[in-house]
Structures are given as structure tokens and as C-alpha cells.
Amino acid sequence: MAAAAAAAAGDEAWCRETVPRAMELVSPRLPQRDACALLAVSPWCHRALVANPKLWEWSLAWASSLEWPPRYCHLKIINLEFAQDIDDRHFVRLKEMGCTSLQELELLNINACQKVSDKGIETITSLCPNLRALSIYWIVGLTDLTIRHIVQNCKHIVDLNLSGCKNISDKGMQLVADNYEGLKKLNITRCIKLTDDGLQEVLQKCSSLESLNLYALSSFSDKVYKKIGSLTNLTFLDLCGAQNVTDDGLSCISRCVCLTYLNLSWCVRVTDVGVVAIAQGCRSLQLLSLFGIVGVTDVCLEALSKHCSRSLTTLDVNGCIGIKKRRRDDLIQLFPLLRCFKVHS
């Protein structure tokens, strides 16, 4: 068995290190079609593609050509995450060549493709009319014009990740609210230009939301958090750093009875009162972070143990100096299913 394990490790190292290097050396000497065909051989070949902008140009051109293999004519998912040399020109090239292979695309991930602008988003979304999930995390140059292009070109979006798009404003949120009433997942982490007005529009009109990520957004008032309580299908809520959320806000959020994930790290105005309300209302909680909240005590732990001990598997009370039963042994006695003790780092 040891020999088999060693052989497997050797194969893994060969795939991880040798294959990408071989592709880098060989692909410039191959015809375009043959070089691109190598990309489908293994995940390691694909990763070599991500690291080599020249190969991107070849593959995109190949995707648009008549030589595109039949098995790739019904693409559902494209992941270009951290392909930092991708820019608007690549998407424009696809459109100019009459690319039709993206008509059935459902998920597009271009996270951290910093060279893509509003124009690039307009072009690529125009090729993907049936897109359902779009992730444009940390493309900081994008503006509300991007949102306009998305809602005009993609009518079926249910999962939208705008995390880190710092220039998206309430105007963009209004467009989301007006066009995606069936939205299921929204991530607006660090979209620092948003105010109560923009988020309230989304909360009012996108009542089917199941996942809402408001990480590192401290400017919203408690009236917004109170409105979250109307999202009856909500299962995931991240409020890390929500410095204005109070016990009243959490009391309203406790009406989200389907909630399984709740991050309250650094919600410094929260006390036992709000956490007890959550415990009583959200009895399916699997993950809860109270990291850094000094206003909570063992009282909230007792309430959580009473109502959520059969579901909680992750609980972070690090930095909660008012809680005395913070030792792992103490927590496991209260929550027998607990397996993870740290969320925030």
C-alpha cells in the first residue's frame, strides 16, 4: 500500500508540475487547433491555460471557429477566475467571429479579471442570454453601467456576485431590484457606495432571496436589517462588520426560520437579547459566529443550547469576553454536534 501511495503521489506531482511546463514549451510549436485540444486533456492542462495569456487567445479563437468540437457546443459553465490577462479585446473578438457556443451558458465566473471593463461585460453578456449565475468579484473598475448591460442581456439571473465592485451604487441596485425579482443569491461584499435606499429596494422586490452576503458593509442602518426579516426563504446571511445592527434588527431577522448560516462577527451593538431572539426563531442554525462581540454572555449560549444544539456544528465565540464557557470542552457539552470553533480569522 505504501508503494501504491508513493506512486500516486508521483503521478500527482507529474501532473501538477510537468504537464503545465510541457504545455508551455510545446504549445507554441503546435497548430492552433492541436494546442487548444490539449486543454481538454486534464485539469492541469486547463490550469496551464489560465497562466498563459497566449493560450487564452488561441482557445477563445478556437471557441469561435467552425472547428469547435461538438461536445463543446453546449457549454454550461465557464470559469475564468483570476485569469488576469483576459481583457475586453478577447470578448470583442468572440463577438466579431460570431461565437454561438455560449448560447446555453448558465454560469460565468470572471472573478478578479481586473482588465475587464463595462464594455467587456456588455460584450460577453450579449453572448450569454441564458446565463443564470454571474460572478464578477473584485473587478473594481466596473460601474453601474455594468449592471445595466447585465439586466439588458441576461434576463434569467438568479445568482449575482458583485463582491468588491466598489463603484456599484444604489442605481445599480435599483436595476437589480427591478429586473431580478426571482433572484436567489446576492453578494455585495465591500460595495461601499451602497446605502439603505438601494438595499431596501432589493429586499422589497427580491423576496425569494436565499443567500445574502453583506460582509464588511458598516454603513447600513437598523431599518435595513429589520427588512431582512421578510425574506422567508433566507438560509445564508453574512453581516460581518455590521456595526449598526442592533438587537431590534436581530429580533426581526429571527423570523428567517430557514436560516442555517449567520455571521455576526464584529456586530458590536448586539447583546444577549438579540442572540436569544435568533436562537428562539432560527432553530436550524448550523453555523453562527459571534466573534468579537463583547456584549454577549453565557445567557445567549444557554438559549442557543436549548434551541439549536441539534443543528449547530460551527460556533465562533472567540473574543466574546463576556462569555465564560468558551473552552472547547464547555462548548461541546452545550452543543454535542460542534466540530468547528473558528469562523473569523
Please indicate, yes or no, if residue 147 is contained in any of the structural domains.
yes
Q: Check whether 254 has a pLDDT greater than 90.
A: yes
Question: Which range is least confidently modeled, 19-33, 85-99, 195-209, 299-313?
Answer: 19-33
Residues 137 and 190 in one domain: yes
d(CA 67, CA 268): 58
Please indicate, yes or no, if residue 10 is contained in any of the structural domains.
no
> The pTM is what?
0.86
10, amino acid identity? G
Residues 26 and 143 in one domain: no
d(CA 60, CA 68): 10
Residues 49 and 173 in one domain: no
Residues 240 and 118 in one domain: yes
- Helix, coil or strand: residue 343: coil
Please indicate, yes or no, if residue 61 is contained in any of the structural domains.
no
Residues 45 and 131 in one domain: no
Cell of 329: 470542552
Please indicate, yes or no, if residue 250 is contained in any of the structural domains.
yes
Structural domain containing residue 111: 73-342
Query: Which pLDDT score, from 0 to 100, does residue 337 have?
Result: 98
What residue ranges in 202-331 does DSSP mark as E strands? 211-213, 236-238, 261-263, 287-289, 314-316
Q: Which residues of 179-209 are buried (b: 16+ CB within 10 A; e: fewer)?
A: bbeebbbbbbbbbbbbebebbbbbbebbeeb
Task: Report the phi/psi class of residue 183: left, alpha or beta, with left for phi > 0 and alpha for psi in -120 to 50.
Answer: beta
Phi first, then psi: give them for residue 337, nearest 5 degrees. Answer: -90, 0
Please indicate, yes or no, if residue 202 is contained in any of the structural domains.
yes
Residues 40 and 81 in one domain: no
Please indicate, yes or no, if residue 4 is contained in any of the structural domains.
no
Please indicate, yes or no, if residue 1 is contained in any of the structural domains.
no
Q: Check whether 64 has a pLDDT greater than 60.
A: no
Residues 112 and 21 in one domain: no
Neighbours of 102 (CB within 10 A): 21
Q: What is the pLDDT of residues 187-231, one digit of tens each?
A: 999 999 999 999 999 999 999 999 999 999 999 999 999 999 999
Query: Which pLDDT score, from 0 to 100, does residue 237 have?
Result: 98
Query: Which pLDDT score, from 0 to 100, does residue 66 have?
Result: 43
Q: What is the pLDDT of residues 16-61, one digit of tens each?
A: 677 667 766 776 666 655 666 666 666 666 666 555 655 555 555 5
How deeply is 55 buried, as exposed, middle or buried, from its count of CB atoms within 10 A (0-12, 13-18, 19+)?
buried
Q: Tell me how many domains the chain contains.
A: 2
Strand order in the sheet with 236-238: 77-79, 107-109, 133-135, 159-161, 185-187, 211-213, 236-238, 261-263, 287-289, 314-316
Q: What is the pLDDT of residues 237-253, one digit of tens each?
A: 999 999 999 999 999 99
Task: Find cell 459553465 and name the residue.
Answer: 77
Phi first, then psi: give them for residue 167, nearest 5 degrees. Answer: -100, 5
Q: What is the CATH number of the domain that holds 259?
A: 3.80.10.10
d(CA 279, CA 344): 20
Taking residues 297-317, report their average pLDDT: 98
Residues 130 and 33 in one domain: no
First to last CA, the chain: 38
Beta-strand relationship, 287-289 and 159-161: unpaired
Residues 338 and 283 in one domain: yes
Please indicate, yes or no, if residue 67 is contained in any of the structural domains.
no
Residues 46 and 79 in one domain: no
